Amino acid sequence: MAPQEFILSLEQETLRHKAVRHPFLLRFAEDSLTPIQIQTFGLQHYQLVKVFLNYMTNLLPKIPDKDAADLFRRVFDDEFGQYTIFRSHPALYRNFLRAIGLKDEDWGQVPLLPETAQFIEEHMQLTRGSDFLASLGAVGPGHEFSIPTMFTYIVRGLKKNTSLTEGQMEYFTCHIEEDVEHAKVFNQLIARHVETEEGQIRLREGTMRSLSLRKYFWDGLSRTVFNEYSSSTSGVASK
Ligand SMILES: [Fe+2]
Ligand SMILES: [Fe+2]
Condensed to tens digits (0 to 9), the pLDDT of residues 189-239 reads: 999 999 999 999 999 999 999 999 999 999 999 999 999 887 654 567 544
Query: Domain for residue 234, yes or no?
Result: no
Q: Within 13 A of 217's CA, how many CA atoms are on the CB side?
A: 30
* Cβ count near 121 (within 10 Å): 12
Q: What is the CATH number of the domain that holds 57?
A: 1.20.910.10
Helix (H, G, I), strand (E, B) or coil at 146: coil
Domain that holds residue 135: 3-226
Query: Domain for residue 40, yes or no?
Result: yes
Query: How much distance in Å is there from the Cα of 50 to the middle of ligand 1?
Result: 9
Query: Domain for residue 239, yes or no?
Result: no
* Cβ count near 201 (within 10 Å): 12
Total domains in the chain come to: 1
Query: How much distance in Å is there from the Cα of 206 to the middle of ligand 1?
Result: 19
Query: Domain for residue 237, yes or no?
Result: no
Query: Domain for residue 235, yes or no?
Result: no
Residue type at position 150: M
Nearest ligand to the CA of 49 is 1
pLDDT of residue 18: 97
Of all residues in the chain, the percent with pLDDT exceeding 90 is: 88
Query: Domain for residue 231, yes or no?
Result: no
Query: How much distance in Å is there from the Cα of 231 to the middle of ligand 1?
Result: 31
pLDDT 10s digits, 66-117: 999 999 998 999 988 876 768 899 999 999 999 999 999 999 889 999 999 9
Structure pTM? 0.95
